[in-house]
Amino acid sequence: MVEKQKVLVAPSLLSADFCNLKSEMDNLQSADMLHLDVMDNHFVPNLTFGFPIIESIRKNTKMPLDAHLMVESPEEYVDRLAMIGVEYISFHLEATVHAHRLLAKIKSLGIKAGIALNPGTSACLLEPLLAEVDFVLLMSVNPGFGGQKFLPLVYDKLSYLRPYKEKFGFLLQVDGGVSDKNCQSLVEAGVDILVAGNFVFQGDYKQNIARLKL
């Protein structure tokens, strides 16, 4: 019998109630990590939380923190995030001209290093970097806002990346429009980490997380 793949669920705190953030995190204990959408209103047309909020999140949870940098000059964020104690950092290939150098810097700090791709960016551009990444984050919506419709074009990228995943051992993460309607097909396509915002934070959080874990 083939062993069932274990999928990790990372609720996106972008969808949380920030007036009750500690309580929100307490209700997410059945998840595997917390996803932090860091936006600067330049790389994407939205501004979210900065270092003080991330520091507060770190002080109030022992869960691994996964920082997705939707920012210009992501290299300027890495040292501070390392000091805070973030365990995963991904940055956009489109946001830096020295992706290989930045991957090396993140890994040198003992942090899992990932590269994110916008829906309109070809996965083949990652090929020179795939031996160095710990994970690849594929956006299945255009970044900047929660609650968007899932873009199925992500499946083509998963098909392209899966042989490289098997060769190099990195993880595949998908973010955007993830729900119980598509989680099974995403895991079957090779996804290891499901990032979900609106789906998790509507109704019973624990039950919703369990539904994503199949």
Q: Which residues are catalytic, by number?
A: 37, 175
Q: How far is CA 57 from CA 23, 34, 35, 53, in A?
A: 11, 10, 11, 6
Q: Is 190 left (phi over 0), alpha (psi -120 to 50) or beta?
A: left
Tally the residues of the chain: 214
Tokens representing residue 60 in the block: 């109030």
Residue pair 176/157 in contact (Cβ under 8 Å)? The answer is no
Tokens read off for 9: 């669920």
Structure tokens at 187: 């895991």
The neighbouring-strand residues paired with 138 are 117, 174
User: In one letter, which amino acid is 139?
Assistant: M
Amino acid residing at 199 = F
Rounded to 5°, angle at Cα 209 from 106 and 44: 45
Contacts of 26 (CB under 8 A, 6+ apart): none
